[in-house]
Amino acid sequence: MDGKQLRQYRETYELTQAALGDYLGIDASSISNWEAERRPITAENARRIEAVFASLAAGKTPPKSPPRPHWSVLRNKERVPYVAAFIRAYVARNSAAPSLTEIRRGVGFPVMRVINYMEAQGLIERPISRKGNPRYRAIRLR
């Protein structure tokens, strides 16, 4: 699904960007960015969008998703499940451990302090150096 299709579906069902955002648990500005193709729609969000439109096509009202907490209100300890879930999904998809940069892009919040916290707790290890740069060291769950 691309931005043009998203806008077409949204207008077909007479939804505002804010209303679609309520169903998805995200901000209307994200939908605006997707429709203008300033940002790509992730596979997870594409599935969620398709589920919303499938419910509307069936004549049902889709349930509203609770909003995701903004990263700034979460402590390092509370961010661990998000980072761990991303690492697990990344390894399942790519059969390789993600780098710090890849994790940052994937979870959408600064992760260095979270990674240091996870390393101190013994939850992860960073044994491999890619490209000779510490920023590219692979992160593995223990």
Kindly provide the residue ranges of all beta strands, DSSP E only, lying in 1-142, ordered along the sequence: 124-125, 140-141
Cα separation, 23 vs 62, in Å, equals: 7
3-57 against 71-141: fold identical: no
**Average pLDDT, whole number, for the chain?**
80
pLDDT of residue 82: 83
Mean pLDDT of 47-56: 90
In this structure, CATH architecture of domain 71-141: Orthogonal Bundle (1.10)
Structure tokens, 90: 């990344």
What confidence category does residue 64 fall into, taking pLDDT thresholds of 50, 70 and 90? confident
Cα separation, 55 vs 49, in Å, equals: 10
Q: How many residues are there in the chain?
A: 142
| Domains in the chain: boundaries | 3-57, 71-141
Q: Is the pLDDT of residue 130 over 60?
A: no
What confidence category does residue 12 fall into, taking pLDDT thresholds of 50, 70 and 90? very high
**pTM to 2 decimals?**
0.49
Give the CATH number of domain 3-57.
1.10.260.40
Percent of the chain beyond pLDDT 70?
Answer: 82
Of 18-27, 49-58, 112-121, where does mean pLDDT reach its minimum? Answer: 112-121
Token pair 């590219």 is found at: 136
